[in-house]
Structure 1
Amino acid sequence: MSTPVTNRLLTTEEDARQAEGVLQQIVGPQGVLSAGHHNHEMTPLPREIGVLLQQVLQAVARGSTVTVTAIPAEVTTVTAAAMVGVSRPTLMRMIRDGELPAHKVGTHTRLASADVTAFIEARRARQRAAFDELRSILDD
């Protein structure tokens, strides 16, 4: 079972200038990123790749530290608990209660990274909705 691989890029002022220059060269109409080929023809990148690259370049242009983590398709309960921000026993309760799907590999419990990420995103959406509701109540 592989664990997440993290790479950290500490940017310099020169990196920031270069990233800004690259952004100006590759952002096309409607903010779509395009890449040039050997024949100098600009081809739009797939949306998800374009968004990812644009976020990285914008962070570098601001002089921020960029951390990229590659998460395997399947994770252990320890890794999933860290991703969710709960203890492993709490994660195991969530699995038992059906909040998170998991499967057994021999005697070990494994989770699909996509399921863990979807759970995190759904939880954030619920938190935002609750916060917005609270704010609307306080504004009245």
Structure 2
Amino acid sequence: MNTKESPGLPTDAEVSLAKESSRLLSLYLSTQEESQSIRVIDQAGEHEAVRIPTAAFRLLIDVLSEMAQGNAVSMIPVHAELTTQEAADMLNVSRPHLIKFLDSGVIPFHKVGTHRRVRYLHLVDYKAKVDSERLAALEELSAQAQELNMGYY
């Protein structure tokens, strides 16, 4: 896994192809089956049927959909271990700020030699918790503003 190399934005031609590909593939997605069969054709015209897990097929459609919107896409395995800089980048915080979270026990980590490593799964759990708390606080503030007739709807 290489999370340091960020993918470039798709070109206009790739965006157009991704739009068409995701649309066509989604027509064939069968959620009733454990696997999907696709036919791969090489440049010589040779073709072969390939069976892939439905989850992978769905992921391919999701990647193409993101590309169709002009977004760069990268994949990180759930059990991946990130450096503190990679983890900080994912949370959009500074590395020293992330280290405070780690040292205070807010986000679990372990050390490899003298270097801290954060599991991607722990980072996603933390982000989901913070996002949920943030949404609850916003809903409470909105309710208070409505009760006080502050003109917010």
Q: Quick check: TM above 0.5?
A: yes
What is the aligned partner in structure 2 of residue 35 from structure 1? 36
- TM-score normalised by length of structure 1: 0.72
Matched length: 133
- TM-score normalised by length of structure 2: 0.67
- C-alpha deviation, 1:110, in angstroms: 1.0
- C-alpha deviation, 1:34, in angstroms: 6.4
Residues 1:18 and 2:21 aligned together: yes
Amino acid at match of 1:36: S
Greater relative contact order structure (CA < 8 Å, 6+ sep): 1
Residues 1:71 and 2:76 aligned together: yes
What is the aligned partner in structure 1 of residue 120 from structure 2? 113
In terms of Rg, which structure is larger?
Answer: 2
Cα gap change, 1:89 to 1:12, in 2 (>3 Å): closer
Q: Deviations over 1:48-78 (max 9, x none)?
A: x455334334345xx4113221336111111
What are structure 2's unaligned runs of at least 5 residues? 40-48, 148-153
- C-alpha deviation, 1:12, in angstroms: 3.8
The question of whether the paired residues in 2 share the 8 Å contact of 1:5 and 1:71 is answered with: no
Residue 134 of structure 2 aligns to a residue whose secondary structure is helix
Amino acid at match of 1:116: L
Alignment of 1:47-86 (within 5 A): 49=56, 51-60=58-67, 63-71=68-76, 73-86=80-93
The question of whether the paired residues in 2 share the 8 Å contact of 1:81 and 1:87 is answered with: yes
Residues 1:6 and 2:16 aligned together: no
Amino acid at match of 1:18: S
- Let me know the Cα RMSD of the aligned residues: 3.3
Q: Deviations over 1:67-93 (max 9, x none)?
A: 221336111111111111111111111
Cα gap change, 1:44 to 1:124, in 2 (>3 Å): same
Amino acid at match of 1:23: S
What is the aligned partner in structure 2 of residue 88 from structure 1? 95
What are structure 1's unaligned runs of at least 5 residues? none
10-19 or 66-75, which deviates more? 10-19
